[in-house]
Amino acid sequence: MKLKKLLEDLDYSVLQGNDDLEINSIQYDSRKIQKGDVFFCIKGFNVDGHKFISSALQKGASAIVCEEYVEETIDNATVIKVEDGRKALALCSANFYGRPAEKMKIIGITGTNGKTTSAFMIKSILEEAGYKVGLIGTIANYIGNEKLHSERTTPESLELHELFKKMVDKGVHYCVMEVSSHSLSLNRVYGVKFCQGIFTNLTQDHLDFHKTFENYYGAKLELFKNSANAIVNIDDSYGEKILSDVNNRKLTYGIHKNADIKAEHIEIHPRGAQFKILYGDIYENIDLQIPGNYNVYNALGSAAACLNEGIDINKVIKGLNKVQVPGRCEIVTKQYNLGFDVIVDYAHTPDGLQNILETAREFTKGRLISVFGCGGDRDKTKRPIMGEIGAGLSDVAIITSDNPRTEDPDKIIEDIVRGITKENYIVIADRREGIKKAMEIAKKGDVIVVAGKGHEDYQVLKNETIHFDEREVIAEIVKELF
């Protein structure tokens, strides 16, 4: 491809060389550069990508895209100046892969909680309607049934457009993707047009990155600047704010407030939830296999997006009925006769933890035992709040480690414990031992909620990432104890 073609529709100036150059590929990491590649300089949080220009040139880069001219930029390399390296990377990645996003319909979901669950629901509905669906999200990326490893919730723009291209090549009609607030702030989805954008909710998370709630909200709002339709949870106070801040076509959903799409006669039970969906003259029964009032919200938002796409209500009903999401309120002890149940859930925010514990409480006959921690190198301010909620809503809380990453696990636990006002907690830093303790003390009728890691099959420690799949760990403990 010619450099000029790569830069199509981009505002740029040529500082050196010329743009009529044949290029090989593009990279934003100098370590991956091969002969003939274009190196994009990104000013990062840790380092400034402009520092790696000479190393990229040594490896054979034939062009540099930068925000500022750097002296060492020499010889016969072409130097292109742009205003914003991350935006340029996003637009050029789309050009490089032949603008695959324009060849599919893309549904984006943003919000603190419920993105993964909603993405699975939408995929299930659209497949029921006969479409080939791609999914991009936290658990994995999917092209139909083919599962691809996902490094993050929303990939960097270069990897994103590469994935879009693979989807288009494999005949995907619809791509449903989780759009994280990080990806919106860092322009990973810059230039991507969404046919439907869903806002699930906004509660505390990621303040380490966004610093203030206003910034966090502002990041989420970005999605709606590029979506033809805004599907908004009107029961969330920030949902109301989105409605007044965006000019798109809007469709609201909710349970309490007056919404376009509503749920009525909700019944939650241990294995699922039932409700009536009300939209215009549609008034039908929905039967979910996953419990929790919050999943009624996820189902409403997903149904709204699909109905707005013209999908038949019967397909919506069937799709929602089938959906299962790994590590989201997953009862992992169904096959044993222990007298108590163990649930693995991905709740890692105050709101998520409150939701799963309140949901589990509704079907707990005995005591509710929780096992949870908080991730290291992430929002520290949520730790005491999760401590208070976790211990407050449980009969016994076992405070343990999540992914400590580079932090000292005991310090993270101290932050959590600082918020606890009851005496009903035990500290066991080793997560496996924490889960084991819960299973040792559990009696008939009790429910154990192991929160925070859900589908993850690893634990990130200071110096290593170890294999840690809670389903396997719990099965091993069952063998040891019973």
Ligand X SMILES: Nc1ncnc2c1ncn2[C@@H]1O[C@H](COP(=O)(O)OP(=O)(O)OP(=O)(O)O)[C@@H](O)[C@H]1O
Ligand Y SMILES: N[C@H](CCC[C@H](N)C(=O)O)C(=O)O
Positions that interact with ligand Y (CB under 6 A): 153, 348, 375, 378, 402-403, 452-453
Closer to ligand UAG at the Cβ: 156 or 309? 156
Q: Which of 127, 128, 156, 178 binds ligand X (CB under 6 A)?
A: 178
Residue 239: which of ligand Y, ligand X, Mg ion, none does it interact with, CB under 5 to 8 A by kind?
Answer: none
Task: At 419, list the tokens.
Answer: 């918020």
Residue 310 near ligand UAG by CB under 6 A? no
Using left for φ > 0, alpha for ψ between -120 and 50, and beta otherwise, residue 104 falls in beta
Residue 201 near ligand X by CB under 6 A? yes
In 421-455, which positions are buried (b, 16+ CB within 10 angstroms) versus exposed (e)? Answer: eeeebeebbebbebbbbbbeebeeebbbbbbbbbb
3-state SS assignment for residue 117? helix
Closer to ligand UAG at the Cβ: 46 or 421? 46
CA distance 470 to 449: 12
DSSP conformation class of 37: P
Specify the pairing of strand 447-451 against strand 330-331: unpaired
CA distance 86 to 306: 32
DSSP conformation class of 101: G
Smallest gap from Cβ 298 to ligand X, in A, equals 5
Closer to ligand Y at the Cβ: 203 or 229? 203
8 A C-beta contact, residue 67 and residue 15 = no
Residues between 286 and 305 that touch ligand X (CB under 6 A): 294, 297-298
Smallest gap from Cβ 397 to ligand X, in A, equals 16
Residue 93 near ligand UAG by CB under 6 A? no
CA distance 38 to 287: 51
Residue 351: which of ligand UAG, ligand Y, ligand X, none does it interact with, CB under 5 to 8 A by kind?
Answer: ligand X
Residue 154: which of ligand Y, ligand UAG, ligand X, none does it interact with, CB under 5 to 8 A by kind?
Answer: ligand UAG
Beta strands in 255-307 (DSSP E): 261-269, 272-279, 282-288
Residue 42: which of ligand X, ligand UAG, Mg ion, none does it interact with, CB under 5 to 8 A by kind?
Answer: ligand UAG
**Residue of closest CB approach to ligand X:** 114
CA distance 232 to 229: 10
Q: Which of 307, 318, 315 is nearest to 280 (CA)?
A: 307
8 A C-beta contact, residue 323 and residue 314 = no
Residues between 122 and 181 that touch Mg ion (CB under 5 A): 138, 178
Residue type, 33: I
279 φ, ψ to 5°? Answer: -155, 110
Residue 182 near ligand UAG by CB under 6 A? yes
Q: Which of 15, 19, 29, 395 binds ligand UAG (CB under 6 A)?
A: 29
**To which H or E segment does residue 46 belong?**
none
3-state SS assignment for residue 330? strand
Residue 403: which of ligand Y, ligand UAG, Mg ion, none does it interact with, CB under 5 to 8 A by kind?
Answer: ligand Y
Residue 446 near ligand UAG by CB under 6 A? no
Residue 182: which of ligand X, ligand UAG, Mg ion, none does it interact with, CB under 5 to 8 A by kind?
Answer: ligand UAG
Q: Which of 6, 30, 352, 369 binds ligand UAG (CB under 6 A)?
A: 30
Residues between 93 and 122 that touch Mg ion (CB under 5 A): 115-116
31 φ, ψ to 5°? Answer: -65, -15
CA distance 98 to 6: 9
Q: How many residues bind ligand UAG (CB under 6 A)?
A: 21
CA distance 347 to 372: 9
Closer to ligand Y at the Cβ: 78 or 349? 349
Smallest gap from Cβ 212 to ligand X, in A, equals 19
Q: Which of 466, 387, 407, 455 is nearest to 432 (CA)?
A: 466
Block residue for tokens 């909680």: 113
In 363-380, which positions are buried (b, 16+ CB within 10 angstroms) versus exposed (e)? Answer: ebeebbbbbbbbbbebbe
Smallest gap from Cβ 481 to ligand Y, in A, equals 25
Residue 153 near ligand X by CB under 6 A? yes
Binding map of ligand X across residues 345-374, x = CB under 6 A, - = no contact: xxx---xx--xx------------------
Binding map of ligand UAG across residues 206-245, x = CB under 6 A, - = no contact: ---x------------------------------------
Residues between 124 and 163 that touch ligand UAG (CB under 6 A): 152-154, 156
Residues between 43 and 82 that touch ligand UAG (CB under 6 A): 44-47, 49, 52
- In sequence order, which residues have a C-beta less than 8 Å from that of residue 118 and are 6 or more positions away? 109, 198, 200, 298, 301, 302
Smallest gap from Cβ 108 to Mg ion, in A, equals 13
Residues that bind ligand X (CB under 6 A): 113-117, 138, 153, 178, 200-201, 294, 297-298, 328, 345-347, 351-352, 355-356, 454
Residues that bind Mg ion (CB under 5 A): 115-116, 138, 178
Residues that bind ligand UAG (CB under 6 A): 28-31, 42, 44-47, 49, 52, 152-154, 156, 180-183, 186, 209
